[in-house]
Amino acid sequence: MTHTRPNVIWVIADQFRGQAMGHRGDPNVSTPNLDRLAYEGTHFPAATSGTPLCTPARASFLTSLYPHESSAPTHNSPLDPDKPTIATVLEGDGYRTCWIGKWHLDGGIDHGERYRVVPAGRRGGFRDWFGFEINNRPFNTWINVDIDGEATVKHLPGFQTDVLTDVLLEWLADAGAHDDPFFAVLSVEPPHNPCVAPAEDMARHRPADVVFRDNVPDVARVRDLAAVELAGYYAAIENLDANVGRIRDRLDELGLREDTYIMVFSDHGDMGGSHGQFRKSAPWEEAIRVPFIVGGPTQEHQWYEKARADSVLNHVDVAPTTLGLCGVAVPEWMRGYDYSGRLRLRGPDPLNLAGAGREAEPRSAYLSLPVPSGHADSIDRPYRGVVTVDGWKYVCLEGQPWLMFDLNEDPYEQVNLAFNLAFAEKRRELHEELAAWIERTDDRFELPVLA
């Protein structure tokens, strides 16, 4: 690395579940660029979206606050413009910041959403802005642009991931010509439903060829829908993968590869028919596990297993980890943990990120759905839970245990142990862990009383 202050690019893909990549063993998809990024960098197979719902997860990435304290506890909640974000911190430290694509943090949804301009004071502190509130029409994208000090909207013809990547590539050429380090976010909606992609990508995926996960029930209604959606879903992921390759190529062209970290992740996953469920908000693995890959300054000749971090990195940890990579102190108001010491930094380490005496990593991640979204195919009541580093999950409804799984022996969550007295001691241990998270985060939730 030639600079002590690296650049960072976040690539956020909406509703992209962590299991759906080639290096994770999914037989339905080919992701050579993401796989290479994982092999050369670091990947977190246990990365978690603690609240698997668009708006609260996005607010947590940016603020490192849990949804019940970020001002955005549920779908379509507005992010408080007075809340500082990672962009606020990095701008204050001399970084040039840019947001491109889906925002979904300005509150409220109506049929004119694609033409709506997010006001400058509600953009999370990002300097350069090519965003939009929400669209979900991947071949008909409108972005906000500022022209001569006036905000307006601009139509981008083509598939959303392709055209938004075009915007990023153009912006990188300009940013790379300046001395200031940069932080850019590319936020695309695909593979989010309607689960479509360009024809050349769709041609490689037929519903009849989809290989289901072991927990998709043999129910015609479920499998018929899942097959159609997953075919398009995997096509959109392959398109995303190709665009990650385009980003890396542009960094090479600009001489920025060794100065720039790329972090690929998502706000939450997609149930895709597992357990008979679709979409998000559920605490099962397909919804809460997300990709989290950090590549950049090339780590050559690594064994795949050495590139893997088993930490339960949560959505609140993304901002602190990014700041750690930049050598910027994490503000006290951020709740998350800085995992940058796990990323084998090369060059100067001004914060002693890889050194001794660091705070111990969290042994679990906190799961929550503070306010149900009301969507069909979603969970209709609040829950809280934990998922642990050693592979256990425990989730409660208000006043009621709900789910408990040993993910080591039951990765598809087919054996619920929450009511099995043979596991009462383990349930009590996990219950205490959950209670500690509720207290630690100043949350309010009525846990059940265990006998």
Output the CA–CA distances (angstroms, integers) from residue 405 to 218, 432, 438, in the order listed.
22, 16, 20
Cα distance between residue 397 and residue 445, in whole Å: 9
| The pLDDT of residue 260 is above 80 | yes
| Residue 63 pLDDT | 97
Q: Reading across the β-sheet that carries 260-265, which strands appear in turn? A: 42-43, 292-295, 260-265, 7-13, 182-188, 96-102, 128-132
Reported residue count of the chain is 451
Q: Which of 30-34, 43-47, 175-179 has the lowest mean pLDDT?
A: 175-179
- pLDDT number for residue 301: 52
Residue 97: phi, psi to the nearest 5?
Answer: -115, 150
Domain ranges of the chain: 7-343, 381-440
Domain 7-343: assigned CATH number: 3.40.720.10
| Distance separating alpha carbons of residues 269 and 40, to the nearest angstrom | 24
Condensed to tens digits (0 to 9), the pLDDT of residues 43-67 reads: 999 999 999 999 999 999 999 999 9
With a pLDDT cut of 70, the percent of the chain lying above it is: 92
- CA angle, residues 217, 223, 228, in degrees to nearest 5: 150
pLDDT of residue 33: 97
Range 395-413 average pLDDT = 97
What is the b/e burial string over 340-374, where b = at least 16 CB atoms within 10 angstroms of the residue's CB?
bbbbbbeeeeebebeeeeeeebbebbbbbbbbbbe
2 falls in which pLDDT band (50, 70, 90)? very low
Better-predicted residue by pLDDT, 237 or 5: 237
Cα four-point dihedral sign 203, 204, 208, 210: negative
Q: Which pLDDT tens digit goes with each residue over 68-107?
A: 998 888 888 899 999 999 999 999 999 999 999 999 998 8
Q: Write phi, then psi, for 249 (nearest 5 degrees).
A: -65, -40
Question: Are the C-beta atoms of 277 and 52 separated by less than 8 Å?
Answer: no
Q: How far apart are CA 282 and CA 376, in angstroms?
A: 12
**CB of 160 closer than 8 Å to CB of 190:** yes
Q: Is pLDDT above 50 for 287?
A: yes
Angle, nearest 10°, between helix axes 318-326 and 54-63?
A: 30
Q: Which of 286, 305, 277 is nearest to 380 (CA)?
A: 277
Structure token digits, residue 25: 């063993």
* 373 pLDDT tier (thresholds 50, 70, 90): confident
pLDDT in tens, 301-342: 555 556 778 899 999 999 999 999 999 999 999 999 999 988
Reported pTM: 0.94
